[in-house]
Amino acid sequence: MSTKDTWILAAQCPSRLGTVDVVTRFLKESRCYITELNSFDDRLNCRFFIRVEFRPEEDGFDSEVFQAEFAARAMEFDMSFELTPPGRRLPVVIMVSKADHCLNDLLYRYRTGQLPIDVRAVISNHPDLEPLAAWHGIPYHHCPITAQTKPQQEAEVWRIIQEAGAELVILARYMQVLSPEMSERLSGWAINIHHSLLPGFKGAKPYHQAYEKGVKLVGATAHYINDDLDEGPIITQRVEPVDHSYYPEDMVAKGQDVECLTLARAIGYHVERRVFLHARRTVVFARS
């Protein structure tokens, strides 16, 4: 995670001479010390991305003045930017079904401060995980769904997300396909996690199918949702080796571990403004 005393400036603009200089020179003139800097120029699409962590060297740092003065400089480059203060905990809503491994992992990381998030609510189409949310003192909303009630259920889910003031929705093994309308509403600020197996195994018990084929790698993919099922812009992926000694239950356990780690990493990158959505792809400045 980023240190608690650093600000984050994330910006992007068309590619042109001076894009790095306009950021770093302004920070120097503002008496701000750069602790981390990442940049990328997409030469195919002529788009520039930069992320800077910095620490003000003098007391009395005024973020509103900083943003107003930097906006005047950035205007010349048609540069859009976001400034994130130290220690900000992003308000989130988590959606789950019956599997508890990702939810349990996220709530632990939330409770211990490993993830800078503020979990406002848990939404599920099943009642099973309410005791887990209650133990953490988090409101749990049981929103059952059928093919006939899907529009009404999604309207209720959307109401909860809005009332919670969520800025990120996490699908932590929420085993329902969102409607195109809901996917559009959440585009760019909802993260999903699913297994990544080669070859791809769809349907029930994918890890059992993988066992039958003698798969040697299990993995997971975390991505932003869109209207293409499991095909949104990818944030991060992870794989782990397995071999002939892994029985189906071992593969399930390994796969769940990978899913937890991959999802937590993607959320951390999103919260720390390390991810830039770029058309149907992402630019991700991963931690070294």
Question: What 3-state DSSP class applies to 34?
Answer: strand
Order across the sheet with 80-84: list the strands.
32-42, 47-56, 7-14, 80-84
**Cα 158-162-166 angle, rounded to 5 deg:** 110
Using alpha carbons, select from 239, 236, 238 the residue that is nearest to residue 282.
236
**What's the DSSP call for residue 129?**
T
Structure tokens of 115?
């993830």
Do the beta carbons of residue 276 and residue 282 sit within 8 Å? yes
230 is catalytic: yes
Among candidate residues 100, 118, 227, 230, the one labeled active-site is 230
Question: What 3-state DSSP class applies to 72?
Answer: helix
Using alpha carbons, select from 18, 7, 11 the residue that is nearest to residue 285.
11
Question: In angstroms, how far is CA 57 from the centroid of its own chain?
Answer: 31
Q: Which residues are catalytic?
A: 230
